[in-house]
Amino acid sequence: MKRIILLAAVFVLPHVFPSGNSHAADKRTDKLYELYNSTSTPVNYKRILKRSIDRKERIEKLRANARRKAKRTALAAPAAVKTAGVPSAAPLAADASFKLGEVYCYPNPAKKTNPTFHIETGLADRVGLRIYDVSGDLVHETTLTGPPQQIDDGQGPQLAYEYLWNTKNSGSGVYIFSVTSSQGDKTLKKTGRCAVIK
């Protein structure tokens, strides 16, 4: 008999105690408290109700903390002005001067994933990326325009352009990339290698 009551409680409680935040859910939660405080409810059933009530209260507390934290984070972080999906102004914390920084591809080798090219040149008018196979044939070419993103990879904030290369039409192998960044009459160039394993 106790097992039947316990099984009934396990299968009935999820319907009485949903995870939503609606008015009906509040009524069901009130029903749980009413059943728990009732003198006619068996002790075993009260234990199950108590665990459910405690779990519901913990979940509500965690949700409230998460909402407070998200609100604080939203208030603390400055809103970035965007133009066509790209941040329009370079943050003051990063060095915006036109100079060659780190240029690399990650992950390298890219195993069953698309590699991302990370190019630090400060503010540039345009950044050209060409990717060649080992025989010297051009495999992919793109031009990045607009302001760079501010990225902090553990070495402090940097202004960098990042480009995700879709390798769907390329095979496994070693590729050579060439980056040409220009600002007015100044030009910066860098080459490197990346490997793709499919």
- Look at 40-54, 60-74, 163-177 and tell me which has the smallest mean pLDDT: 60-74
Locate the domains of the chain by residue range. 2-76, 90-197
Locate all alpha helices (DSSP H) within 105-194, ordered by sequence. none
pLDDT value, residue 10: 45
What pLDDT sits at residue 188? 93
Q: Is the peptide bond before 109 cis (omega within 30 degrees of 0)?
A: yes
- 159-188 pLDDT, tens digit per residue, is 899 999 999 989 999 999 999 999 989 999
Give the Cα separation of 15 and 10 in Å (integer).
Answer: 10
Instruction: Supply the pLDDT for residue 81.
Output: 40
To the question of domain 90-197 being in CATH 2.60.40.10, the answer is yes
Question: Is residue 139 over pLDDT 90?
Answer: yes
Closest CA to 46 of 35, 57, 56, 54: 35
30-44, 94-108, 126-140 — which one is most confidently predicted on average? 126-140
| Residue 80, pLDDT score | 47
Q: What is the pTM of this model?
A: 0.52
Cβ neighbours of 95 (radius 10 Å):
15
The 10s digit of each residue's pLDDT in 5-46 is 544 554 454 444 444 444 555 566 677 777 778 888 888 877
